[in-house]
């Protein structure tokens, strides 16, 4: 990847990290409800989303902050949503767990584990039938891959040749259960072959590798119209949901993955290759910090929804 692309990737990843750290600290102060943070998964979000073009769509799940910010979401509107304020992306009616933004092309976010897998086929079908170009990326976890809907979705997408990039963010955890307890294989990519579609796996801590794997998968989808399963091997560096002391996590495993923190890896690469120096990256960190402080102020100032919103938008 070229220097400016990689520095942009660092910027986005730093923004996601800063956003999540802000959410953690506000949750700790009881200024907003707990959320599922994506700390540790920034390279996955930025690598895949930056490989999409603006008319591609995204479906995501409860751990969506990285995907939204990678797509260009405004952290102030996201924070307002988490706070239940009217200035949020969904007018305060989503909270953190199911933020959708049609204008950003992040649609039908579902926190039913596997929900996005059941909806993505219809999104892709509509686009194909309406003659709209573009692929539909669907982010889901290794836990969701244990749902029957995972197989139903892959099978239908294969049979109907739907242009879907399935992105399994295998972060090794399914809430409080380790992935090794729930599947015999070491991941989910093997299921692609069973459904007759392309599959690939990538180191999810390396943003360049993720971006390349995503680009490769997307160009194959654009050429063939057929779906592809990309498994991103990553790690949930914080707990499932704030607060979560991670007492159940093997400290050696956590340490091993912490050493591969995607921001640390990218920082090292940028500096060692001479694309950036320490001061450049520190400056970016400071800038995103300032941006987040401002976002908190904007979100705080947003009013709560009016009482009449309680029953609005139930029916069209």
Partner 1 sequence: MEMTVNDAISAALAEEMRREPTVLIFGEGVATKRPDLLGEFGATRVRNTPLAEGIIAGTAVGAAAMGLRPVVDLLFVPFLCYAMDEIVNSAGKLRYMSGGQFSFPMVVLAMTGTGWGVGAQHNHNLEAWFVHAPGLKVVMPSTAADFKGLLKSAIRDDNPVLFFTDLALGYTAGSVPDGDEAIPLGSAAIRREGGDVTLVSYAKTVHTCVAAAEALAERGVEAEVIDLRTLKPLDEGAILRSVAKTGRLVVVHEASGMCGVGAEIAALVAGKAFHHLRAPIVRLTGPDAPAPSSFALEQAFVPQADDIVTAVEGILEDRAAPVG
Residue 62 binds: one of ligand TPP, Mg ion, partner 1, none (C-beta under 5 to 8 A by kind): ligand TPP
By beta-carbon proximity to ligand TPP, the closer residue of 164 and 276 is 164
Measured CA to CA, the distance from residue 85 to residue 306 in angstroms comes to 10
**Cβ(66)–Cβ(42) below 8 Å:** yes
Q: How far is the CB of 144 from partner 1 (least distance, A)?
A: 12
Residue 270 binds: one of partner 1, Mg ion, ligand TPP, none (C-beta under 5 to 8 A by kind): none
Tokens 């139903």 locate to 152
Interface region with partner 1, contact rule CB under 8 A, candidates 149-157, 203-211, 249-257, 279-287: 149-157
Q: Is 91 in the site for partner 1 (CB under 8 A)?
A: yes
Can you say whether the dihedral through the CA atoms of 203, 208, 212, 218 is positive or negative?
positive
Kindly give the residue spans of alpha helices, DSSP state H, lying in the chain: 3-28, 42-49, 65-70, 75-82, 115-129, 148-160, 190-194, 207-224, 251-258, 262-272, 278-301
Neighbours of 287 (CB within 10 A): 14
Element (H, E) at 59: strand 57-59
Residue 175 binds: one of Mg ion, partner 1, ligand TPP, none (C-beta under 5 to 8 A by kind): ligand TPP
Measured CA to CA, the distance from residue 229 to residue 238 in angstroms comes to 26
Q: Is 47 in the site for Mg ion (CB under 5 A)?
A: no
**Cβ(65)–Cβ(42) below 8 Å:** no
Q: Is 142 in the site for Mg ion (CB under 5 A)?
A: yes
Count the residues of the shown chain that bind Mg ion, applying the rule CB under 5 A.
6
Residue 93 binds: one of partner 1, ligand TPP, Mg ion, none (C-beta under 5 to 8 A by kind): partner 1
Residue 224 binds: one of Mg ion, partner 1, ligand TPP, none (C-beta under 5 to 8 A by kind): none
**CA distances to 263, 268, 293 from 259, in Å:** 10, 12, 28
Q: How far is the CB of 240 from ligand TPP (least distance, A)?
A: 6
Neighbours of 249 (CB within 10 A): 18
Q: Is 126 in the site for partner 1 (CB under 8 A)?
A: yes
Residue 113 binds: one of Mg ion, partner 1, ligand TPP, none (C-beta under 5 to 8 A by kind): ligand TPP
Q: Which residues pair with 279 in a beta bridge?
A: none
DSSP 3-state of 287: helix
Q: Which residues bind ligand TPP (CB under 6 A)?
A: 36, 62-63, 111-113, 141-144, 171, 173-175, 236
Residue 92 binds: one of partner 1, ligand TPP, Mg ion, none (C-beta under 5 to 8 A by kind): partner 1
Rg of the chain over all Cα atoms, to the nearest angstrom: 19
Binding characters for partner 1, 157-196, by CB under 8 A (x = yes) = --xx------------------------------------
Q: Is 61 in the site for partner 1 (CB under 8 A)?
A: no
Q: Is 231 in the site for Mg ion (CB under 5 A)?
A: no
End-to-end CA distance of the chain: give it in Å, rounded: 46
298: left (phi over 0), alpha (psi -120 to 50) or beta: alpha
Q: Which residue is nearest to ligand TPP (CB)?
A: 141
Q: Is 312 in the site for partner 1 (CB under 8 A)?
A: yes
Residues that bind partner 1 (CB under 8 A): 88-94, 98, 100-102, 107-110, 112, 115, 117-127, 129-130, 148-149, 152-153, 155-156, 159-160, 312-316
Residues that bind Mg ion (CB under 5 A): 141-143, 171, 173-174
């Amino acid at each position: 990847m070229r220097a400016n692309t990689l520095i942009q990737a660092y910027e986005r990843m730093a923004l996601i990290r800063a956003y999540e750290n802000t959410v953690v600290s506000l949750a700790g102060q009881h200024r907003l409800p707990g959320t599922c943070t994506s700390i540790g998964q920034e390279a996955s979000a930025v690598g895949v989303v930056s490989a999409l073009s603006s008319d591609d769509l995204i479906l995501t799940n409860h751990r969506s902050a990285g995907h939204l910010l990678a797509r260009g979401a405004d952290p102030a509107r996201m924070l307002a949503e988490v706070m239940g304020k009217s200035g949020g992306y969904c007018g305060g009616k989503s909270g953190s767990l199911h933020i959708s933004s049609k204008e950003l092309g992040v649609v039908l976010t579902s926190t039913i584990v596997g929900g996005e897998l059941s909806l993505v086929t219809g999104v892709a079908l509509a686009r194909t039938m309406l003659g709209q170009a573009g692929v539909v990326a669907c982010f889901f976890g290794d836990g969701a891959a244990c749902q029957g809907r995972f197989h139903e979705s892959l099978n239908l997408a294969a049979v109907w040749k739907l242009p879907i990039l399935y992105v399994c963010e295998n972060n090794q955890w399914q809430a409080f259960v380790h992935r090794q307890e729930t599947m015999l294989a070491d991941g989910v990519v093997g299921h692609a072959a069973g459904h007759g579609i392309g599959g690939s796996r990538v180191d999810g801590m390396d943003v360049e590798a993720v971006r390349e794997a995503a680009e490769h998968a997307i160009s194959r989808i654009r050429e063939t119209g057929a779906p592809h399963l990309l498994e991103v091997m990553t790690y949930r560096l914080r707990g499932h949901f704030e607060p979560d002391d991670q007492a159940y996590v093997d400290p050696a495993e956590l340490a091993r993955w912490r050493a591969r923190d995607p921001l640390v890896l990218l920082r090292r690469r940028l500096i060692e290759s001479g694309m950036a120096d320490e001061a450049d990256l520190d400056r970016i960190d400071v800038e995103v910090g300032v941006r987040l402080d401002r976002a908190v102020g904007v979100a705080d100032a947003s009013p709560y929804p009016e009482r009449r919103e309680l029953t609005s938008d139930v029916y069209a």
